[in-house]
């Protein structure tokens, strides 16, 4: 029997034997992925692991001479006490713009050491409104002023069904002392 007679006995057609063809295609595709793509991905993974280790060592190294330079830059970035009314007006404008009611705001200086170039002012504010509006107001206010830090935030709701909440916010405003 010749080879051609043997092949014609099997009657192989794609319509009848499509699962075999699909399996063979999947096998060829997985072999190509295993021999071509996986080594490239493993090499990229090794490169990324080395970069992560390098960045971790950079984070763990102490700040030597750069720390003093950054502290000097921080003092230069801080505004003077004359900028405090701008912070207060921004708080008022942003709360009105975002739909919050600013009912009360107080300012008091905090005790600082005499040899420090930086002083602090505590700002307490009482607001009323919705939480998303508060988030937007705080984000805009803190992004707009370098020396402003959020110290505490208290949220109270008188009734569970009420969408409006009572908000108490405490900021610390850091500023340069006048020379």
- Distance between CA atoms of residues 2 and 122, nearest Å: 99
Q: How many CB atoms lie within 10 A of CB 76?
A: 8
Q: Is the pTM of this model over 0.85?
A: no
Q: What is the pLDDT of residue 100?
A: 94
Instruction: Give the model's pLDDT for residue 94.
Output: 93
User: In the CATH hierarchy, which top-level class contains the domain 77-176?
Assistant: alpha beta
79: how many CB neighbours lie within 10 A of its CB?
17
The answer to whether 138 touches 130, Cβ cutoff 8 Å, is no
CB atoms within 10 A of CB 173: 23
Show me where the domains of the chain are located.
1-61, 77-176
Nearest CA to 175 out of 148, 142, 140, 136 is that of: 148
* Residue 123 confidence (pLDDT): 94
Residues in the chain with pLDDT values less than 70: 1-15, 62-75, 179
* pLDDT tens digits, 114-128: 777 788 899 999 999
């Amino acid at each position: 029997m010749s080879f051609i007679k043997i092949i014609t006995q099997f009657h192989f057609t794609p319509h009848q034997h499509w699962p075999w063809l699909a399996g063979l295609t999947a096998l060829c595709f997985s072999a190509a992925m295993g021999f071509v793509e996986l080594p490239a991905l493993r090499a990229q993974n090794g490169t990324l692991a080395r970069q992560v280790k390098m960045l971790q060592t950079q984070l763990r190294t102490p700040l030597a001479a750069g720390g003093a330079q950054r502290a000097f830059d921080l003092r230069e970035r801080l505004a003077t006490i004359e900028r405090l009314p701008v912070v207060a007006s921004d708080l008022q404008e942003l709360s009105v713009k975002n739909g919050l009611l600013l009912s009360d705001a107080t300012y008091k200086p905090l005790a600082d050491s005499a040899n420090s170039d930086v002083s602090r002012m505590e700002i307490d504010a009482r607001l009323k409104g919705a939480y998303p509006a508060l988030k937007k107001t705080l984000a805009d206010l803190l992004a707009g002023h370098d020396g402003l830090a959020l110290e505490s935030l208290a949220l109270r709701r008188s009734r569970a069904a009420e969408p409006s909440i009572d908000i108490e916010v405490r900021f610390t405003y850091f500023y340069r002392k006048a020379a």
